[in-house]
Every structure is written in structure tokens, then in C-alpha cells.
Amino acid sequence: MILDEKEQEIKVPEVQLNLYKPTDPVLVPIVENRIATRAASPHYIRHIVFDVSGTKLEGIVRPGQSIGILADGVDNNGKPHKVRLYSIASPSEGEDGQGRHISTTVKRMVEEHWEDNSLFLGACSNFLCDRKPGDMVRMTGPSGKRFLLPENPADYNYVFFATGTGIAPFRAMIMDLMHSGVTSDILLVFGCAYRTDYLYDTQFEDYAKTHTNFKYIKAVSRENLRPDGSKPYVQTTLLDKADVLMPVLKKKNTLIYICGMKGMEAGIYQNMVLQGLVEYFKPDETLQAIEPAKWPWEVFKKGLKTGERLFVEVY
């Protein structure tokens, strides 16, 4: 039963942690490595599936958790590469329905050093994206015990804000919600630069067509300008799509999840406050004495203390 207007304690399930550490990783094979964007995208983002059959990870990794990967070889100083964490993109039952195949979403890091314009390649992201089915990789984890769906998911509504590969945990969470038959409101807001950067777009479009409780909102910053000529971002959907978002956000049993680039966090908080959604935060005494609409930008930029209905994982 959905407890629509009732405040309640939010409990997340207990999960298993650090079954494999960087000093003692588990070797697992890759079973799938495919492009996650549209073919013409300027970014290289891949959906990678691992087979964890027969390991301690089989059947226990949950959406919102991460696994670690250790790239082969050594860094420029001759030392082994450090572990890199990647969010789980598969539901609790795995890609195979048995919890044996788990996935993540990886963007190749291909950048330039601003000092000398030399090329910089992310060691682990490129290592992973280069792997083929059958290749073995060293895995650690799982990690993460807070950024999870609640114990009783049917009692809540959900609003997910994501940019880029930050959509990975939300794919996993939404799949769990869909598979469990949750009928409460589920809203996904995804931001990217171009339409070619959409991730898992067909899957979410299909959900929107077949589930009346699911809404899929996209903010494409470099293609579709807002009426005032400014660029649309995830944070501006709180204003531009208020007719869809606000009825759900105003409910006392709605949970907000934010994942992706840290740059969107302050804007989301500010627009939430401007829309009167102060109950998601815990302002200090100084702020309590000021009308929320007049809170200075620095408050949002430096970090506003959030309440328990807001789950954030940004980088």
C-alpha cells in the first residue's frame, strides 16, 4: 500500500560489503561489451556485463552498489593501477535473471592535459572498454550501503536525476521497481549534451509506453534551447517540467536520487528551494531566519545539508 501523505522512517536493506578487496580480487570473465549510446555519439560509452557465477558476488549485488576493477599493468610510476569503482547497472536478479551476470556502464576517458595538450587516457576505463567477451578482469567489492532503494519500495514514489553514466544505478533501480510490480510514481530525468548521448534510451522509452506510472524526461543542453535562449539542464527541468515533477515531489513519501556530475547538484537544490521544496533539506539556524527564496547561491554551491529523503552520489 502506498502511504501517500505519511511521514515515515526510511530504511534501506542491509547489504554485503567488500567480499573481495583490492589485495585479494576475484577473477571474472566478461560476457558482453557493447555500445550504450547511439552509433553517432562523440562519446565512447559501453555497457559491460561480467559473469560472477560461483563467486561470492553471485546473487548478492544490489542496485546502488558499486564494484571495483583493477586494470592490468602498471602506471607511469611503475606501480600497479589503483582500483576504480563502477556503479552497478543491472537489477538485483542480474542481466540473466539469476544474479550471475552483473553489469556496469563505462565511459572511455580520453582527454588532453591542458598544460601541454598531450593526450591523457584513463587507464581503467580504456582497459575495460577494450576487453572482449571471454577476457578475464580482476574485480573487488561490492561497496556502498546508503545509495539504495528502501526496504519497502512500494511505499514510496521516486524521482531520479542523472547525467551521463550516472544513469547506471537508476537503470538497475528502475528495473528492480518494474520487476517487483511497484505502482507508485517513478520519474527519471536524464541530462546530456546531444541526443546521440542518450543511454538505454529505448528501454526507458518502452517503460514510458507500457507503464503509466513511469515518466521519462530528457534535457539535451546543446540542441534544444529554452524559451529564454538558455540551455536546458537537469536542474532546469524543475522549472520547465514543473507540471510533471511538482505533483510527485510535493508528496511526503517521495524519495529523490541524484547521480552524475557534481555540477548539477547546486542547481537542483536551488530550484527545489525556489519551488518550495524546503522539506528535503536541513537548513541551519542562519538559513532558517531567511526566506528560502532569498538564500544566497553560495549556500547551494558549498553544500546544503540534505534530509533523509534525498540520496546523492556525485563526482
Known catalytic membership, residue 20: no
Last residue of a domain, one of 108, 124, 143: 143
| Mean pLDDT value across the chain | 93
Global pTM value: 0.93
192 is catalytic: no
Q: For residue 17, is it within any domain? A: no
Question: Are 157 and 139 members of one domain?
Answer: no
CATH of the domain at 87: 2.40.30.10
Pair 61, 171 in one domain: no
Same-domain status, 172 and 305: yes
The answer to whether the beta carbons of residues 67 and 141 sit under 8 Å apart is yes
Nearest alpha carbon to residue 237 among 261, 198, 272: 272
Active-site position among 41, 66, 87, 103: 87
CATH of the domain at 160: 3.40.50.80
157 and 275 housed in the same domain: yes
The number of folded domains in the chain is 2
Q: Is 313 among the catalytic positions?
A: yes
According to the model, what pLDDT value does residue 8 have? 61
Annotated active-site residue 259? The verdict is yes
86 annotated active-site: yes
User: Nearest 10 degrees: CA dihedral of 83, 85, 86, 87?
Assistant: 150
Report pLDDT for 5.
Answer: 45
Quick check: 141 pLDDT over 60?
yes
Residue 224 sits in the same domain as residue 259: yes
**Residues 267 and 195 grouped into a single domain:** yes
Q: Is residue 123 part of a domain?
A: yes
Q: Which position among 103, 192, 259, 280 bears the catalytic label?
A: 259
pLDDT-based confidence at residue 7 (cuts at 50, 70, 90):
low
Q: Quote the domain boundaries for residue 177.
A: 153-314
**Boundary residue ending a domain (94, 112, 143):** 143
Instruction: State yes or no: pLDDT of 4 exceeds 60.
Output: no
What does the pLDDT read at residue 3? 42
Classify residue 3: in a domain, yes or no: no
